[in-house]
A and B are shown apart, each in its own frame.
Chain A
Amino acid sequence: MSQVPDQHGRFGKFGGRYVPETLMNALIELEEAYKHYSTDPEFIAEVRQLLKQYSGRPTSLYYADRLTKQLGGAKIYLKREDLNHTGAHKINNTIGQGVLAKRMGKTKIIAETGAGQHGVASATVAALLGMECKVFMGEEDTKRQQLNVFRMKLLGAEVVPVLSGTRTLKDACNETLRYWVSHVDDTYYILGSVTGPHPYPMIVRDFQRIIGDETREQIVAAEGRLPDYIVAAVGGGSNAMGIFYPFVGDESVRLLGVEAAGRGVDTLEHAATMTKGKHGVFQGSLSYVLQDEFGQVQPAHSISAGLDYPGIGPEHSYLKDSGRAEYVPITDAEALEALQLLSRTEGIIPALESAHAVAHTTKLAPTLGKDKVIVISLSGRGDKDVESIMHYLGGNGIESH
């Protein structure tokens, strides 16, 4: 596949820069700074050093023996992004962008968050680098993820509850962009996914590709070859893009993005952007969007706040329409089931987001021979979700074994 994005920030027809004029020079400045620093050996060394010594990379690629046996098919490996500092892959990107912000001379950081993982990762990096931090979070999500709200405050960040629209991730993104328009002079916006206007989808992908780069090395060491499948959850799509990207040129590796089907793709309550969406411009780029026939963006639903988003990164749309990656839906109920399965078979409580990838694997693995290899991107750990899982499973209704 050709080098993407092109100089206009296009992945095929997708991507671009659909933002108010006030932000255009800020995005151009960011693009130029990134171009400069991404080839600067000192910058690269600083980011690598922090990923290693601060976040604990490389994360392990763990062979899930009991899960593999339970499902009775392909060998399953888990790329343990949950073992990162702060509990998810989000820190890979916030370290990169945080150091970039500092090099650009910015003193303030803003970020949007859904599940709170990106907010926590941004607040963490702000504390680490001595910068001020404001995190915008939909009011609905602040209720679902109270622990992460408190965590951000503990880290010295200000959490701004967003009361507009659906009060979830999409509105948190809108509000962060609106705030940035007003404070563009001294503020750096750490966007958390491979979404938004160019150059963000490229920058976030580049900072997340370490997931795929490590996976490649580790799976070759373990199996002597590349995997047959890579399975990752997609909301905006940053962990998926990160693990997919280094494998895009390897046609033998099938790339599967798992999106949130909520209560089902045939209901009105889902976040299955690829399955049910159409091409449209949303939050700065052209991509698949959940929308009505007149272009109004539809509210999304997922049990997982991190996947509860009616858009998706433009590079995913490019991979989908070119046939390089496939996208499949998993319901709330299936994700909850998978979360319990992984907890009991491997002693790993995954984040609800990552549980979607596990759930699809429970369908896929049994259909494959024992010689096949699946890698799941286990993007985050479930600690943040324990309270809401308890609620969904009916309090103490869960049986003890």
Chain B
Amino acid sequence: MNRIDAAFARLQAEGRTALIPFITVGDPDIDTSVDIIRKLAEAGADMIELGVPYSDPLADGPVIQRASERALVHRITILDCMQVAEDARKAGADLPFILFTYYNPVLQLGLESFFSLIANKGISGLIIPDLPIEEDEEVRGLAEAANIHLIPLVAPTSHDRVVRIAAKARGFVYCVSSLGVTGVRSDFHAGIDEFLRSVRDAANVPIAVGFGISSREQVERMAKQADGVIVGSAIVRRIEESLPLLNDPATKEEGLNRIRDYVATLKV
């Protein structure tokens, strides 16, 4: 059984909502990413999205763009990101990992090569934000064969596409809470409740909400309608703010704990 399915089954039995943090791998460096993943697990994360840094992150706002730039200074590759998953698992982070990557890094490895390299790295899901259903047939087939869930995004502008997207979804459906790129915001799309209901009606898998969620209050609101809540930019920003602490061995633990303590406040 895919770990994502197992996690949602357990949470559902407990009547709880999944907390799904996102980090950009390699920000500020590979070893620290492994440490952060461990701390996120400690803070109560139920699964983790591992973002592959990319030169042209179209779907991302300034916070994650900056994290990508920091990681790319060290030439972090998609292979490094897979390795981080494996290392984090060995370090005791026993939760599902989801690789979040733009399509081109996958394409450059070659699709078959990508799926053979990703096997046995402890990665259970894959999100490719610039691969809409019209373009994903080959990836979908290979992902199914590899028992990796290809998790699709739906947006408030998806309208009639929701049914088609949800029908193909594996793992969960990633619902984009608002128009725009990733990043903290105070308001969600006006029709968010209706939108989430439409996804819920169409999906046979759990639904999770992301984009713009940064506070416990927002998590609580979303938890009423969704099975999972994704928090990205708000965590990446905490990492950015903690860089001076993380970069100094004497204060690294303090920096990691700050990130952990913040994420713990989001756990409902």
Contacts and interface: CB of A to CB of B under 8 A. Distances in A.
A20 B104 contact: no
Interface in A5-31: 8, 16-26
A8 B134 contact: yes
A165 B155 contact: no
A39 B69 CA distance: 45
A174 B56 contact: yes
B158 A21 contact: yes
Contacts of A294: 77-79, 105, 108-109
B54 interface: yes
Given A16-B135, A293-B108, A21 B165 contact: yes
A17 B179 CA distance: 19
Contact of B179 (A164, A183, A278, A295): A183
Interface in A262-298: 278, 280-284, 289, 291, 293-298
Contact of A24 (B56, B65, B69, B132): B132
Contacts of A297: 55-56, 104
B176 interface: yes
Interface in B153-198: 153-159, 161, 165, 176, 179-181
Interface residues of B, number: 42
Contacts, number: 118
Interface string B89-127: 000000000000011111111000000000000000000
B158 A281 contact: no
A8 B136 CA distance: 13
B45 interface: no
A323 to B, nearest CB: 24
Contact of B131 (A18, A177, A183, A185): A18
Contacts of B131: 18
Contacts of B78: 294-295
Contacts of B158: 21-22, 24-25
- Most B CB within 10 A of own CB, among A8, A184, A283, A295: A295
A26 B176 CA distance: 16
A21 B55 contact: no
A287 to B, nearest CB: 11
Contacts of A165: 55-56, 65, 69
A293 B102 CA distance: 15
Given A17-B132, A181-B59, A164 B65 contact: yes
B72 interface: yes
Contacts of B56: 165, 170, 174, 282-283, 297
A293 B55 CA distance: 13
Interface string A37-61: 0000000000000000000000000
A296 B132 contact: no
Contact of B58 (A20, A185, A289): A20
A184 B157 contact: yes
A182 interface: yes
A296 B72 contact: yes
B49 to A, nearest CB: 16
Contact of A281 (B65, B77, B103, B180): B103
Interface of B: 54-59, 61-62, 65, 69, 72, 77-79, 102-109, 129-132, 134-135, 152-159, 161, 165, 176, 179-181
13 contacts: A16-B135, A18-B130, A21-B129, A24-B161, A26-B157, A183-B179, A281-B102, A281-B130, A283-B58, A295-B106, A295-B107, A296-B72, A296-B105
